[in-house]
Structure 1
Amino acid sequence: MLTNYAPKWSETQGDWVCDFYESGRRHRWRLGIRDSKKQKVTGPAAELRYRQLLNELLAKTSEDGDVIFAEAVRNYDASEEQRRKLANALEHFEAVPVSKISKESFWKAGRKHFPNGSLETVGREFVGPAHAAINQQLGSSPVRRDDRRRERFLLPDEAAGCRRRPAWRASSDLGTSSVEYGKLLLS
């Protein structure tokens, strides 16, 4: 049975490694078992370490069990660019508990921070990174979105020209290959 703390062999470190998220934090440690063939020994060792970690986390949890936004951002495993974007949200929500922050409050604060920005800018620069930090803290999975690659649509005069010319000539005029041109005609 695979658990979230299941150890994995690391060739680079030459050791069994546990790497997982618990309570919004990333936990990584080496088990100190340097033999790649001792997988049966690593399971109980990892479980013992995991139980110790859970007991420590339960002892630290307050009665209400709520975490402030600044702590959620600190626990978030983000790139440098995301950290820069999260600094904007920290200005507005630093001491606010995570459970008290609504989606509407993120959008309102984002509009205050980017008064002339479009909704896409506010969502990309403010709301998205802040939601990612909160989702990780709450243990929910990230929001999955469909592929949003831009597509090139033909202008009306280009489309009219495509109907009159052979495919090989029209494709060279548009700067696309004949395969791409065929896809344009079929769609």
Structure 2
Amino acid sequence: MAKITRETYSWRCSLARKETWHPTWSHSSGDWSVDFRVSGRRIRKKLGLADRGLRDLAIQTARELYREAWEASAKQQPAADAVTFAEAARLYIGAGGEERFLPKIVMYFGPEIQVRDVDALAVERAAGALYPDAKPETVRRQLRVPIRAVQNFALGKRRERIEDTRRVRWLSPEEAERLLASAAQPEKIGLRDPNRETLRKIVFMLGTGAGPGETMALTGEGWNAATREWWLPGTKFVYRARFVCLPERTVSLIGEIPENGPSFVAPNGQPYVMTEALLRNSDCGRFTSRIHAVRRVA
């Protein structure tokens, strides 16, 4: 049996750990390649080593690529050393950050203290001065979280806010009536929808202002027939939790609402599989295509 030296053991352990930058051999391309992320940026490339026997060279090359990627990422990070907390807070608010609790914090730290100097001890002193009798959760929400948000912004770690550029389509009352009339006769426009499920969803959205994703996620537990109110739990990304009051005509056109389980199902009677993309209304393709089909005929 071959003797296992310390160097051999360390090499085998490093292979077993499979570092994120570790190269892999691709049979399809006949080359070594890497696929890793640095600061959220994906780096995926072939190493130009078309020989499976060049494993050691591939590891060395991949390790160097990984090191260079991190060095480049560090150079791209904005230097927060020379930025005052007051200036960072002002820019953070200007970029759409939450302003509510920051003026009080900025006034406490003053115009000279730099972001790098707002360390754990500085935060504790601020907590004692600004919120001496507050509960820990209040201090966290009104002091620690805003400070961390400004620090992350100064270091370039804050996610860029993406504006919603989706087209908004307004319907006149006459257009809405024609839309409902078409949805009530799916067979005439070539839709297989025997239980008028598309009509039920359109009626609910027109009557409440709810979006497609949250409509498909609704269950009967939130419905109060006595008051015609429905509790919409909201979604993580788009809609807030709220009560909506359904007009009498909306209730009449929706028809029977189950006491529990999905309230709005697909035309084939099956419940929708809820995903985050669906709740954001970014994966409602089949349903919206049906609405477009109904609208074209209307």
Q: TM-score, normalised by structure 2?
A: 0.25
- When Rg is computed on C-alpha atoms for both structures, the one with the higher figure is 2
TM-score of the two chains, using structure 1 as the length reference: 0.38
Higher helix share: 1
